[in-house]
Amino acid sequence: MVGPNPLMAQSQVDSGTKLIYRNASFNSYGFLNAREEFLAEHPDLAQKVLDAYERARAWIVEHPDDAVQLLASEAKLAPEVARVVLKERTEVEVSPVPGPDQRAVLERILPTLVRESQVRSEQEAKTALDSLFAPEFAEKAGAS
């Protein structure tokens, strides 16, 4: 079975479905997005969002069992499913600062984005990547 969490985790817990292949290097990451104009006009608000994300990430690292219970309760999942999602599949210990790993993923998918007309050209998208990341917000959140 191929499926996103928590659907795959639910199937594993309920039906004994086996995850036969997992390659973390295929991770496409999740990104918080903001327009450059917004970041220029409201850096304080952007920083508050990143600060909140970092506090939550740090709390999950420090309280993994409580995090499992919270996820189970709020997402209406069985605790066993929430445990698989958080403890086996979610890498909260990974740095939240965007950088070379995230850029490499985006560079790998650029040909697909061009084929699907999501971007005009691979070269334009590569040029946009040069200004895409604003790691200073995450770096500051991690330091606070």
The confidence score (pLDDT) of residue 143 equals 65
pTM over 0.85: no
The confidence score (pLDDT) of residue 30 equals 78
pLDDT interval class at 95 (50, 70, 90): confident
Interval 95-121 mean pLDDT: 89
Same domain flag for 56 and 107: no
Interval 113-130 mean pLDDT: 90
Which pair of tokens denotes residue 8? 């795959």
- Domain holding 102, by residue range, is 97-134
pLDDT interval class at 40 (50, 70, 90): very high
Same domain flag for 74 and 87: yes
Same domain flag for 2 and 48: yes
Same domain flag for 80 and 107: no
Same domain flag for 44 and 113: no
Interval 25-54 mean pLDDT: 90
Same domain flag for 102 and 77: no
